[in-house]
Amino acid sequence: MSTTVWIILAAAVATYLTRVGGHLVLSRFETVHPRVEAGLNAVPAAVLTTLVAPAMLTAGPAEWIALAVGGLVALRGGLLTMFLAGAAVLIVLRQFMA
Amino acid sequence: MSTDATIEEDAERPASRDFLDGARLGVPVIVSSAPFAMLFGALAVANGLSVFEATLMSLTVFGGASQMVGIELFGQKVAPWLIVLSIFAVNFRHVLYSAAIGSRLAHWPVWQQAAGYFLLTDPQFALAEARAESGRKVGFVWYMGAAMPVGVSWVSCTWVGAAFGRLVPNPQALGLDFLLPIYFLGIVMGFRKRPLWLPIVLVSGVASILAYKFVGSPWHVSLGAVAGIAIGAIFGPAPGKVEAEEPTP
C-alpha cells in the first residue's frame, strides 16, 4: 500500500479515537476543568485560522476581496451561501486581475 | 420480544418509521454537504491523490474540514505524522460531542455504540442532542436513519468529484486553488458565537503568519493553533454546553 493510504488509515483511526474517546475518557471525570474545556472549545477556530491567514500573505487583491465578501456573507448566511459567494467573487475577479 | 424494554424505541412503531424519521432530518445535511464532498474529491485529485484514495478518505475519516486540511497538506510534501496530527487536531472537537452524547447512547449494545460513534459528525451530534433534549429517546434505528444516508451521499459524491473533477479545463480560472481558504474561513466564521472567538482568531492568525515567515511551513499550523488555544484556556474559563455549529460532516 502507498504511504498516502497509510496516512489516510492512520488519520481515520485518530478521528475515530476523538469520536469514541470523549465518551470513554472524558465522561469518567465528574467535571472537566473549565480551562481545559475553554481550551478545547478554542481548538477548531484556532487550527482553521492558521490555514487561512498565511494563504492571504501569498494571495492578491482578487483573493482578498473574495475572502472579505465571503466573511461578510457568513455573518448572515450559512456555510454554503458564504462559500458560493466567495467563490463567485473570486472567479469573476480573476477574469480581470490575473 | 425483548425483556429490556429500553432497547425498543416504541413497541407500537415499526422500525422503518424510526429510520425514515431520522432520514428526513438528514436531508438538509445531504443537500449542504454534497457540494463540499464533490469539491473535496476534485481537490484531492488535483493535490495528487488517486480517485480510490480520495474515496477511501471520505469513507474512513468522514469529517469534511479535516479531510480538506489533509489534502491541503498532502499537496505540500509535509511529513506523514504531521498530516495525521493536523487531522487529529481539527477533529479533536468530537471529544466534546462524544462526552456529551455518551449517556444518550448508553442503552445500546456495545457494537451499536461502536458504530454510532463512528458516524458522530457535527450535524449528527446536533440532531441527536436536539432529539434527546426534546424528551424523545435516541434509538439506534433512528440514529442510523439520520446518519447513514448522509454517509452514503458523502462517499459517493466524493467519488463523483474525484472521477470527474479532472475534466475541469482551467482550474486556475475557476479559483480551485483558493477555494480551500474560503471554505476554512466559512468554518471559522461558524464558530463566532463561541467565547473569546475574536481574540483567538486574531492571535492564531498573527502567530501562524509569523511562524510561516520565520519558522516555515508546516509549523505555522501547530504554532498558530497553540497560540490561539492558549488564549482560550488562559482567558476563557467559560463553561457551557457543547454545541455543533458546522453544517458539513
**pLDDT digits 0-9 by tens, B212-238:** 999 877 678 888 989 999 999 999 765
Give mean pLDDT, residues A56-79: 92
Across the range A22-47, mean pLDDT stands at 81
- Chain B nearest-CA distance from A18, in A, is 5
Residues of chain A above pLDDT 70, percent = 98
The 3-state secondary structure of chain A reads: CCHHHHHHHHHHHHHHHHHHHHHHCHHHCCCCCHHHHHHHHHHHHHHHHHHHHHHHHHCCHHHHHHHHHHHHHHHHCCHHHHHHHHHHHHHHHHHHCC
Q: What is the pLDDT of residue B5?
A: 43
Interfacial B residues in 138-157 facing A (CB < 8 Å)? none
Mean pLDDT for B5-16 is: 59
| Per-chain mean pLDDT for chain B | 85
A58 contact B CB<8A:
no
Kindly report the length of chain B: 249
Residue-wise pLDDT for B121-132, tens only, equals 988 988 898 888
Asked whether B95 and B36 are in contact (CB, 8 A), the reply is no
ipTM of predicted assembly, 2 dp = 0.86
Distance, in Å, from the CA atom of B211 to the CA atom of A81, rounded to the nearest integer, reads 32
At A45 the pLDDT is 85
Question: What residue segments make up the domains of chain A, in order of their start?
Answer: 49-98
Sort residue B62 into left (φ over 0), alpha (ψ -120 to 50) or beta.
Answer: left
**Rounded to whole angstroms, how far apart are CA atoms B113 and B213?**
45
Pick the residue from chain A with its C-alpha nearest to B122.
A19
| Phi-psi category of residue B243: left, alpha or beta, with phi > 0 → left and psi -120 to 50 → alpha | beta
Q: Is A1's pLDDT higher than 70?
A: yes
Cβ contact A50–B175 (<8 Å): no
Question: Which chain A residues are Cβ-neighbours of B229 within 8 angstroms?
Answer: 39, 42-43, 46
Question: Rounded mean pLDDT of B55-84?
Answer: 90
Please say if the pLDDT value at position B34 is more than 60.
yes
Q: How many Cα neighbours within 13 Å face the side chain of B215? A: 15
